[in-house]
């Protein structure tokens, strides 16, 4: 059964149950109120009869002959009620004197319901003069009026109940469609995505949780589409990167095997270089995969970051001197100790510093500084190179991405350096960002927590 049908049935069922409950409640309540009204009216008439009896006694000094007065009073009251359109029942009376003798009895011999009686003492100034027993008798007209009134109320409740059911069906149909429509769209979207159509997007026109659900679905499909694109690109890039060294190795070996090329030391060294490049590419891919999956093992050591960075910079001084680049280091005024994997962070600094020196023009400047910001230590790598196009900036941390596609692979690498740097920094619980102005230079910022908490499985070195 569809959701909209379930909602419609549920809403209608609730309305029906409420209608039946209200009908029963109102019917019982109306009958009780009507009975209370009649009971109060009878009580007023009984009190009036008591006053008549007491007045008769005051005037005659005896209760004998009071039955005629009671019958006349009862008859007069009924006639007045008929004239005024009030259909009330009669009050039959039995009066006993102080000795218990019946002095008046207006009840007919065949009167039914004699068990329903009201017994009231008759007293004057505290003196008991007798007892009055009243038997309220409901007339047929009163019973018929009560029945008609109850039926009228029931008919009104039934009419309101039917109108409520009809309205509930109309409103329920509208609400069920409104509620189930986004879910129907979501199910359709899931079916399309399951078939590989990750470019499908939902459009839900509402301002509630369904809109949030649609936005989450769209973000998921965007992520899936991007992931699928990255996967396809990765497969193509890996195949492309592996093909070149493998082709060279294959060609050299086939030439040697065919006797067209002599296996000299130079040829073997060339083949070894390609094997090394191939091995390095596979190793980089493995390290990057472990870093991105947060399973890269870290051998952390307590390290003073100023001296750590300065030692690496000293290894690049010759390259800076060769290009007449001013390599400037600004360290933090105080020592900063953090827990890092020195080998991994060395690779990060080498990648960023190597790129800065490679792309900076001769006689340019590369500045590296170390600062403390909040609970993090921040490394800045700023160069005066050509800068990066704004359109290319979001992609520089992607695998196999090169800013200069025309650059040879032995000059520009496989395009994994920044991806690896980003993965290594993040596995240390830090972040890496880049800003660049075309024609002025590029600035990389690496932030590492001083209280380093790796998000991967950490292997601590005892120092």
What is the arithmetic mean of pLDDT over 167-177? 77
pLDDT score, position 82: 57
How far apart are alpha carbons 334 and 337 in whole angstroms?
10
CA distances from 212 to 204, 207, 209, 239 (A): 9, 8, 5, 40
Rounded to 5 degrees, φ, ψ at 442 are -130, 150
How far apart are alpha carbons 149 and 305 in whole angstroms?
95
- Helix ranges (H only) for 65-139 are 66-83
pLDDT over 90, % of the chain: 15
pLDDT score, position 445: 94
Checking if the pLDDT of 171 tops 90, the result is no
pLDDT score, position 408: 47
Q: Which is nearest to 73 in space by CA: 117, 146, 132?
A: 132
Q: Please tell me the least confidently modeled range out of 321-330, 348-357, 401-410.
A: 401-410
pLDDT score, position 302: 92
pLDDT score, position 350: 92
Checking if the pLDDT of 115 tops 90, the result is no
CA distances from 272 to 250, 268, 276, 284, 416 (A): 12, 6, 6, 18, 21
Q: Answer yes or no: are the C-beta atoms of 245 and 277 closer than 8 Å.
A: yes
pLDDT score, position 349: 93
Checking if the pLDDT of 329 tops 90, the result is yes
Set out the domains of the chain in order of their start, with CATH numbers. Answer: 3-144 (3.30.450), 297-460 (3.30.565.10)
Condensed to tens digits (0 to 9), the pLDDT of residues 392-406 reads 888 788 777 666 554
Confidence of residue 123 (pLDDT cuts 50, 70, 90): confident
Q: Answer yes or no: are the C-beta atoms of 322 and 434 closer than 8 Å.
A: no
Q: Answer yes or no: are the C-beta atoms of 349 and 312 closer than 8 Å.
A: yes
Q: Please tell me the least confidently modeled range out of 74-78, 199-203, 402-406.
A: 402-406
Contacts of residue 343, defined as CB under 8 A and 6 or more positions apart, other chains included, come to 299
pLDDT score, position 303: 92
**206 or 396, higher pLDDT:** 396
pLDDT score, position 88: 54
pLDDT score, position 83: 55
**168 or 321, higher pLDDT:** 321
Confidence of residue 353 (pLDDT cuts 50, 70, 90): very high
Condensed to tens digits (0 to 9), the pLDDT of residues 218-248 reads 888 888 887 777 677 667 767 777 777 788 8
pLDDT score, position 457: 41
Checking if the pLDDT of 454 tops 50, the result is no
pTM: 0.50
pLDDT score, position 32: 79
pLDDT score, position 223: 80
* 310 token code pair: 């300065």
What is the arithmetic mean of pLDDT over 132-154? 71
């Amino acid at each position: 059964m569809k959701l909209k049908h379930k909602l419609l049935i549920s809403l209608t069922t609730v309305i029906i149950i409420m209608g039946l409950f209200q009908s029963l409640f109102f019917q019982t309540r109306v009958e009780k109120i009507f009975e209370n009204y009649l009971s109060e009216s009878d009580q007023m008439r009984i009190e009036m009869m008591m006053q008549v009896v007491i007045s008769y006694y005051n005037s005659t000094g005896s209760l004998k002959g009071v039955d005629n007065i009671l019958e006349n009073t009862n008859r007069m009251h009924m006639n007045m009620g008929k004239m005024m359109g009030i259909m009330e029942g009669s009050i039959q009376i039995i009066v006993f004197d102080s000795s218990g003798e019946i002095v008046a009895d207006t009840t007919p011999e065949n009167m039914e319901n004699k068990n329903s009686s009201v017994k009231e003492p008759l007293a004057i100034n505290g003196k008991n003069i007798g007892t009055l027993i009243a038997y309220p008798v409901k007339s047929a007209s009163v019973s018929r009026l009560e029945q008609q009134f109850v039926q009228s109320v029931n008919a009104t409740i039934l009419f309101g109940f039917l109108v409520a059911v009809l309205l509930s069906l109309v409103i329920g149909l509208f609400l069920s469609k409104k509620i189930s429509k986004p879910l129907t769209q979501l199910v359709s979207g899931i079916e399309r995505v399951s078939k590989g159509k990750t470019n499908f997007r939902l459009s839900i026109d509402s301002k509630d949780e369904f809109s949030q659900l649609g936005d989450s679905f769209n973000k998921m499909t965007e992520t899936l589409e991007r992931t699928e694109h990255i996967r396809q690109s990765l497969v193509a890039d890996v195949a492309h990167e592996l093909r070149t060294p493998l082709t060279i190795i294959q060609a050299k070996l086939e030439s040697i095997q065919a006797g067209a090329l002599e296996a000299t030391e130079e040829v073997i060294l060339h083949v070894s270089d390609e094997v090394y490049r191939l091995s390095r590419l596979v190793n980089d891919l493995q390290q990057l995969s472990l870093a991105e999956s947060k399973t890269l093992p870290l051998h952390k050591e307590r390290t003073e970051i100023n001296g750590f960075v300065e030692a690496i910079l000293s290894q690049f001084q010759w390259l800076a001197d060769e290009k007449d680049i001013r390599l400037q280091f600004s360290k933090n005024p105080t020592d900063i100790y953090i827990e890092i994997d020195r080998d991994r962070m060395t690779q990060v600094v080498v990648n960023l510093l190597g790129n800065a020196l490679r792309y900076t023009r001769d006689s340019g400047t590369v500045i590296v500084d170390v600062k403390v910001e909040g609970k993090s230590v921040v490394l800045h790598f700023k160069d005066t190179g050509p800068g990066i196009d704004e359109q290319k900036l979001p992609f520089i941390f992607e695998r196999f991405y090169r800013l200069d596609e025309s650059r040879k692979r032995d000059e520009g690498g496989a395009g994994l350096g920044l991806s690896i740097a980003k993965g290594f920094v993040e596995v240390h619980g830090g972040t890496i960002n880049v800003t660049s102005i075309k024609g002025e230079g590029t600035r990389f910022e690496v932030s590492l927590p001083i209280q380093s908490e790796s998000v991967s499985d950490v292997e601590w070195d005892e120092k």
